[in-house]
Amino acid sequence: MWKHPEAHPGAFLRARFLEPLGLTASALAAGCGMPRSRVSDILAGKRGISADTALRLGAFFRMEPEQWMALQADWDLSQAGLDAEIVPLDPAGVLLGPLGVTPLPTRRPKRPTLVPPERHSTELLAAESAAEPYEPRVHEEVRYADGTRALVVK
């Protein structure tokens, strides 16, 4: 969310870049190859920072354009308010996350065969070394806000 004392990304641009550098809106527009009206609208808070503008500001100020896009996204999210209560989706058998939907395992992993101590011989050791090594899976428990739990295999 928006964490800056400035009222809009345009005010941020003016207070933290133009004023300290002594740049005018016209000089910024000329340096970035943008119309003066676009820069004026951004500085007045009437227009947001588009992808094209972020690329131009990033190149002009030697910054990553993603920083300008993140600045605009923070502002947009702080201004958008949800009027309706949203009930989160909680489908059975899957875990929802930032990379999409991950199906949860439906069966337990195969357990290793336990060998009685008296069977430890060179014959058994040779068979064990030829067999596929058992690697236990690591599970992480995830808890949702409503108390529902899920296991995720790492």
Domain that holds residue 32: 9-79
16-20, 77-81, 150-154 — which is least confidently predicted?
Answer: 150-154
| 84 located within any domain | no
Helix-helix angle 25-32:36-43, to 10 degrees: 130
Tokens standing for 57? 């500001």
Q: What is the pLDDT of residue 97?
A: 83
| 32 located within any domain | yes
| 38 located within any domain | yes
pLDDT band at 25 (very low <50, low <70, confident <90, very high): very high
| 103 located within any domain | yes
Instruction: Dump pLDDT digits (tens) for 76-109.
Output: 888 887 777 888 888 888 888 888 888 887 777 6
Tally of domains in the chain? 2
Sorted by sequence, the CB contacts under 8 Å of residue 82 that are 6+ apart come out as: none
Asked if the model's pLDDT at residue 119 lies above 60, the reply is: no
Does 18 share its domain with 67? Answer: yes
Q: Is the pTM of this model over 0.75?
A: no
* 133-to-19, 38, 46, 117, 136 alpha-carbon distances in Å: 65, 64, 63, 19, 10
| 87 located within any domain | no
